[in-house]
A = this chain, B = another copy of it.
Amino acid sequence: MPNPRLAQQIAFIVEADKLKNVLRRTPLTDASRLENSAEHSWHLALTALVLIEYAAPQTDVLRVLELVTVHDLVEIDAGDTFAYDVTANRTKTERELVAADRIFGLLATDQATRLRALWNEFEEQQTPESRYAHAIDRLQPLLQNMQSGGGSWQTHGVTRVDVLRRMSPLQTELPEVWPFVLEVIERFFPQKNAAT
């Protein structure tokens, strides 16, 4: 038997595997299946590395990688809450807090505290790193929906107003990327009353 601390770490790593079975509403770019939250978390890390030049000055991209690595772990218990599901979002915080207690609590106290602090930081949006991570977490599903012909927007009847609101952190956090985001929204949700 490994020592108690290592046993806790292994139990935590093994438990984390379950995030690969948590499905999001967003499909893969080839629309072959829904994306899971584990592979989504990896894709955010890569996206964060690639787009860091558009982030606020002094944003520490490596700190961002830590945040995105842990940001969805609570979904193992709480499930993925669809961004556009108003009812489910009312109970999201409560469900995720209970999940965080259990999941980070698998680790020894010092380590549980440290990893939970990363999750708290992501949720609280008070640091440049967490705001950038949050913006990337909005952009990546936009790209998946764009590539898959509308993805979760189409499947779930999401409106232009909903998407504009959902994407708004990109306007402030990645202003140089915002015109591209607007182009994509215009392509999938053309304004009906545009001047003719």
Contacts and interface: CB of A to CB of B under 8 A. Distances in A.
Contact of A21 (B12, B28, B41, B63): B28
Contacts of A38: 38-39, 42-43
Interface in A1-48: 1-2, 6, 9-10, 12-14, 16-21, 28-30, 32, 35-36, 38-39, 41-43, 45-47
Contacts of A180: 2, 6, 10
A107 interface: yes
A51 B123 CA distance: 24
Interface magnitude class on chain A: 35 or more
Interface of chain A: mostly helix, strand, loop or mixed? helix
Contact of A66 (B9, B13, B21, B62): B62
A70 interface: yes
A4 to B, nearest CB: 12
Nearest to A16: B46
A99 interface: no
A125 to B, nearest CB: 21
A133 interface: no
29 contacts: A1-B183, A6-B176, A9-B50, A9-B51, A13-B51, A13-B140, A13-B143, A14-B29, A14-B147, A16-B46, A17-B28, A19-B42, A20-B28, A20-B35, A20-B39, A21-B28, A36-B39, A38-B38, A38-B39, A38-B42, A39-B39, A41-B42, A45-B65, A45-B69, A46-B69, A50-B107, A62-B62, A62-B65, A65-B66
Given A14-B147, A19-B42, 6 more contacts: A9-B50, A9-B51, A13-B140, A17-B144, A46-B69, A62-B65
